[in-house]
Amino acid sequence: MKKIIALLIACVFIFTLAGCSSDKANRALTMDDLKVIAEKGEKISLRDFEPYDYIQYGSGIVQRKYPIGDEYTVCIVLGSSDEISYIELATTKPGFTIADRGIDIRTESIDEFLKKVNG
């Protein structure tokens, strides 16, 4: 009986882990990739980010973070039914305030932002 219970617990654990995985395509988002996506403006969807690795956290309000090298990150905030509420490209470089460290790629220029960040 103990073996059956242990087996059931192991199966539940394994299936839980399998449910936590995603079908991500295992490649890092690059700035060039992001510029192509940004051309869609307000028509950007979560599907555009499917090929890239991300870290997801939160419940209710879900956020996905896509690192771009060591100096930038893209944060996507999801609303109901996985609709994108906000997409921010932000620098992780020191010296920037919350107000000037990022942009919404749907409405602001990535190139202008990079010029500002890199001086």
The structure tokens 């893209």 sit at 74
Mean pLDDT confidence for 10-23: 41
Number of domains comprising the chain: 1
Beta strand extents in the chain (DSSP E only): 55-57, 62-68, 72-78, 84-91, 102-104
| pLDDT tens digits along 63-119 | 999 999 999 999 999 887 778 999 999 999 988 887 789 999 999 999 999 999 998
| pLDDT tens digits along 38-64 | 999 999 999 999 999 999 988 778 899
> Residue 71: inside a domain, yes or no?
yes
Residue 40 is predicted with a pLDDT of 96
Question: Whole-prediction pTM value?
Answer: 0.74
Residue 111: other Cβ atoms inside 10 A = 10
> Residue 8: inside a domain, yes or no?
no
Q: Does position 17 have pLDDT exceeding 60, yes or no? A: no
Which range marks the domain in which residue 46 is found? 24-118
> Residue 15: inside a domain, yes or no?
no
> Residue 70: inside a domain, yes or no?
yes
